[in-house]
Amino acid sequence: MTGTFINVAAILVGGAIGLIFGARIPERFKNTVIAGMGLFTAALGLKMFFESKNQMIVLGALIIGALIGEWIGIEDWLQSFGETLEKNFSQDAEAGASSRFVRGFMVSSLLYCIGPIAILGSIQDGLTGDYNLLAVKSTLDGFASIAFASTLGVGVLFSSLIILVYQGGVSLLANQLHAIITDPMMAEMTATGGILLIGVGVSNLLEIKKMRVGNFLPALAVAPLIVWILNWLGI
């Protein structure tokens, strides 16, 4: 879990820098930076989507994953967790789902967790102890945290808790996951994650259309399951 600890530290350090120096950055600069990251996130998600060998698998994973996510209430859980942290650790005058704290927590949690590096890096770290991929991700997340925290506030720092649980959990289960997930499964999982990244960019960063992106997270597990079922059926 060395790579996960490095990732957590990068988010905390980057977020702290953003909080300390954020007041000195003009609001229009911060908004432009966030918009730029939204465009980059959407473009990266599109690139990931093109790795799919069968787009219908991605579509099926999104639909099934969304139904599971809505049933479980992942977005509501993230929001509730963020509001609980806000009440205990933030003096932000706003409250509820629209508060800056909750938005910062949810945006950064989703962005840092979604993507092939988070999954592949965690598996590699847990299986072989090689944390190079997560070190690269940590650098990217650290710079992103500076921009996010300067605009969205202290909630960004608390997203490190989600990283610790998510990436740490994948690393601890790396042996089992490595034995199960094949290259075709990883390709469709990556493509599905790309669609979710586009959702994060459009909904949370560019704020073009509000979507409950968190409820699509189960699709990341559904995609490789569909690939396995199709292989088992010989399709």
pLDDT in tens, 142-184: 888 887 888 778 888 888 888 898 888 888 887 677 677 788 8
Instruction: Give the Cβ contact number of residue 228 at 10 Å.
Output: 15
Per-residue pLDDT at 139: 80
Average pLDDT, the chain: 81
Q: Comparing 17 with 92, which gets the higher pLDDT?
A: 17
Mean pLDDT, residues 192-205 taken together: 82
pLDDT of residue 93: 46
Inter-CA distances, 182 with 24, 60, 101, 166, 174, Å: 48, 19, 38, 21, 13
Confidence band, pLDDT 50/70/90 cuts, at residue 66 = very high
CA dihedral 61, 63, 69, 71 (to 10 degrees): -130
Confidence category of residue 43, pLDDT binned at 50, 70, 90: confident
Mean pLDDT over 36-53 rounds to 85
Q: Confirm whether pTM is higher than 0.75.
A: no
Give the least confident one: 10-19, 110-119, 164-173: 110-119
Model confidence band, residue 6 (pLDDT cutoffs 50, 70, 90)? very high
The residue ranking higher by pLDDT, 224 or 108, is 224
